[in-house]
Amino acid sequence: AQSVTQLDSQVPVFEEAPVELRCNYSSSVSVYLFWYVQYPNQGLQLLLKYLSGSTLVKGINGFEAEFNKSQTSFHLRKPSVHISDTAEYFCAARAGRRALTFGSGTRLQVQP
């Protein structure tokens, strides 16, 4: 079965500090991987996606993620966060024809 695990439910960080949000997936076949961001009382917006090719994927708002097949991870990073990055972040995976599976989310709290 396909599953996505986000190891941290909350990540507090100070403004301008770097941040990494962790995501691990399990799948016996090739996967497509996504990170979404959700601001309060809104739907989800796509940050970035990994389909194939380069394992380092750059997204919007200065975020990037690295696909690591051996560790089955797709961690999200930003070198310097802003207050406006405070939101919930969801990792998601799709293997083949299966529906998209979401992790439980990580709440990023950027403090001044």
112 binds another protein (CB under 8 A): no
* List 34, 67, 74, 89, residue binding another protein (CB under 8 A): 34
Assess contact for 31 and 87: CB atoms under 8 A: no
Choice between 3 and 71, CB closer to another protein: 3
Q: Interface with another protein includes 100 (CB under 8 A)?
A: yes
Cβ proximity to another protein, 45 vs 80, nearer residue = 45
Dist CA 61 CA 77 (whole Å):
11
Question: For the chain, how far is it from start to end, CA to CA, in angstroms?
Answer: 41
Residue 41 structure tokens = 């009382």
Shortest distance, position 42 Cβ to another protein, whole Å: 5
Exposure b/e, 19-31, CB count within 10 A at least 16 = b: bebbbbbebeeeb
Q: What is the largest CA-CA distance in the chain?
A: 43
Pick out residues in 4-33 that bind another protein (CB under 8 A). Answer: 4, 6, 9, 32
Q: Which residues bind another protein (CB under 8 A)?
A: 4, 6, 9, 32, 34, 36, 41-46, 49, 51, 90, 94, 96-97, 99-100, 102-105
